[in-house]
Amino acid sequence: MVRSMALTGNFAAAYSTKQINPHVVAAYPITPQTTMMEKFSEYVANGEVDTELICVESEHSAMSACVGASAAGGRVITSTAANGLALMFEIVYIAASNRLPIIMCVMNRALSAPINIHGDHSDSMGCRDSGWIQIYNENAQEVYDTTIMGVRIGEHKDVRLPVMVNLDGFITSHKIEKVDVLEDDEVQKFIGEYKPVYPLLDTDNPVTYGPLDLTDYYFEHKRQQVEAMKKALPVVKKVSKEYSNFTGRQYDILEPYHLDDADCAIVTMSSTAGTTKHVVDKLRAEGKKVGMLKVRLFRPFPAEDIREQLAGMKQVAVLDRSESFGAYGGPLYSEVRNAMYDVDDKPNIVDYIFGLGGRDINAVNIENIFNRLMSAPAKMPGDVNYLGVRGD
Amino acid sequence: MSDEKTWKEIPWGGLILDAGNAAEYHTGDWRTERPVHIMDNCKHCMYCWICCPDSAIIVEDKKMVGVDFNYCKGCGICENVCPFNAIKMVIEGQEGD
């Protein structure tokens, strides 16, 4: 019997964190993340978890405390958003480089300035080269499930990397949805007992974290991280499959939607995938061969899997919820188009930057993109468009 | 350089898995100046031994007898603190070889 709860994305993240029952949580409040930590601190106050909750004075300290606790040998979770993630940026790299499997929920929000509290992906995309595994979630259910899966992914012996669980600020973080949940003991059964590797608290086997690493070995340590990221890809697939079997909810690194016989497709991430599915349903009912590819796993980027999904397609539009100033297109566009370069029957691929600072994207916007794709010439050069901004 | 290991052979994250291993790192490689011990001036007061940051002053039978050049990085603190002008820094390869 599946138990369902009415949860916001933030409460879903808090509830899965409660069931994971990590050794340490260190966090600092920032909109739109705050309600997750408010809820989790209730669990702590009520004695429902064994977690040591460290209320720090900044996000830089939050991630620093997480690094220390994880190096000490604990299972560690935190969360942040936007400027908070920007403030912890230095330590975000250190967490990955020290190979510490910390889980961080990021309620994606626009970076200042001007100050804006609403959802876009500029915060986590700024960390896309930091060495963290990044998974983008469509709704509260995915947030709940991915937090639990993330523990197994990050802690896997071939991986040992931190995992960023992304959800759209306010759109997903504050919207109440029906979420099917596991029981506490089922979550514990799935994640298993934490087996720390090289813990600082093992005084019989002392180790040094964070020594000086100059021209002679730094490059080798970065090469190791490259390898860990490569190995993370099959691990994410394997853990997703295992979790799907465990819960009956299907997860993978990508979610194709009516893609098999489609001529035109939209590639996007997070909550916008939900809106796009709605538009695909409408156009499919009109007999139009359109589909969608939702990218859940952005780091490591599943180039090979995306090639398989998009080869033979005629027209593709990528929807990016962040701008990479001065680049040719948004981060998702650059990755997808690069992945398709060597494919013989590759589609035309255009980019749409949308939703910056929480600007609404609606079904009509998305239908207009499909209409352009369906009426496009056989050969259409790549271009970068700004969707929903006044004055194009 | 030939004994340097590949990325497949070293602990991840730059972790050092052995404790108390500073002796394995020869800071003497850094040296551009070298302390010369002037035995006639030396009173064996051990002030250089106390102040040397790399424990590179060699003491035998309570006497300062020389410098361990595997670890002396040529900082010149010993010359600076010696009350008896018993240590003189010279440029490596130029004097006193």
CATH, residue A237: 3.40.50.970
pLDDT at residue B1 greater than cutoff 50: no
Domain boundary among A247, A266, A286: A247
Tokens representing A208 are 């040094």
Looking at the structure, tell me whether residues A261 and A322 fall in a common domain.
yes
Asked if the structure places residue A74 within a domain, the reply is yes
Using an 8 Å CB-CB cutoff, list chain A residues near B6.
Answer: 220
Burial level of B42, CB count in 10 A (0-12/13-18/19+)? middle
> Which residue numbers of B have CB closer than 8 Å to A's CBs?
4-7, 10-17, 19
Report if residue A1 sits inside a domain: no
Closest in B10, B15, B16 to A220, CB measured: B10
- Bond into A14 cis (ω within 30): no
Give the torsion through C-alpha atoms of A195, A199, A202, A207, to 10 deg: 140
Q: Which of A97, A213, A220 sits opposite B6 (nearest CB)?
A: A220
From A211's Cα to the closest Cα of chain B, the distance in A is: 7
DSSP per-residue string spanning B3-63: TPPPTTSS-GGG-B-SSS-GGGS-GGGG-SEEEEE-TTT-----HHHHH-TT--EEEETTE
pLDDT digits (tens, 9 = 90+) for B37-86: 999 999 999 999 999 999 999 999 999 999 999 999 999 999 999 999 99
For position B21, what pLDDT does the model report?
Answer: 84
Residue A36 covered by a domain:
yes
Mutate to test the interface with B, among A160, A221, A231 (most CBs of B within 10 A): A221
Say yes or no: A381 and A331 in one domain.
yes
Return the residue in B4, B5, B8, B16 with the most chain A beta carbons within 10 A, the one to mutate for interface testing.
B16
pLDDT at A2: 86
pLDDT, one tens digit per residue, over A35-82 is: 999 999 999 999 999 999 999 999 999 999 999 999 999 999 999 999
Please report whether residue A308 resides in a domain: yes
Q: pLDDT-derived band of residue B14, with 50, 70 and 90 as boundaries?
A: very high
**Domain assignment present for A168:** yes
- CB nearest to B15's CB, from A198, A218, A220: A198
End-of-domain residue from the set A247, A273, A296: A247
What does the pLDDT read at residue B25?
86
Chain B residue with Cα closest to A214: B14
Same domain, A333 and A210: no
pLDDT digits (tens, 9 = 90+) for A321-333: 999 999 999 999 9
Q: Residue ranges of chain A with pLDDT lower than 70?
A: none
For residue A365, what are the domain limits?
254-387
Closest-CA distance of chain B to residue A359, Å? 40
A81 and A213 together in one domain: yes
Same domain, A140 and A15: yes
Asked, for residue A2, whether it belongs to a domain, the answer is no
The contacts of residue B79 (CB under 8 Å, 6+ apart) are B35, B87, B88, B89
- Given an 8 Å threshold on Cβ–Cβ distance, is B4 in contact with A208? no
The whole-number pLDDT of residue B95 equals 64
The domain B12-91 is classified under which CATH number: 1.10.510.10, 1.10.10.60, 3.30.70.20, 2.60.40.1080?
A: 3.30.70.20
Measured CA distances, A377 to A37, A343, A370 (Å)? 50, 19, 13
- Candidates B5, B15, B17, B27, partner chain A, best to mutate (most A CBs within 10 A): B15
- In this complex, which of A99, A205, A206 lies closest to B13 when CB atoms are compared? A99
Residue A185 within any structural domain of the chain? no
Judged by DSSP in three states, A62 sits in helix
Taking an 8 Å cut-off on Cβ atoms, the answer to whether B10 and A97 are in contact is no
pLDDT at B96 over 70: no
CB contact under 8 A, A220 and B5: yes
Going from N- to C-terminal start, the domains of chain B cover 12-91
CATH code of the domain containing A333 = 3.40.50.920
Q: How many domains, in total, are found in chain A?
A: 2
What is this model's ipTM? 0.89
Shortest distance between the Cα of A148 and any Cα of chain B, in A, equals 25
On whether both A133 and A221 belong to a single domain, the answer is yes
Asked if A77 and A223 sit in the same domain, the reply is yes
Are B76 and B89 a contacting pair, CB within 8 Å?
yes
Q: How far is the C-alpha of A294 from the C-alpha of A272, rounded, in Å? A: 9
pLDDT of residue B72: 97
Q: Same domain, yes or no, for A316 and A170?
A: no
* Residue A63 to residue A336: CA distance in whole angstroms: 31
Residues A28 and A70 in one domain: yes
* Burial call A171-180: b when 16+ CB within 10 Å, e when fewer: bbbbeebebe
Give yes or no: residues A136 and A55 share one domain.
yes
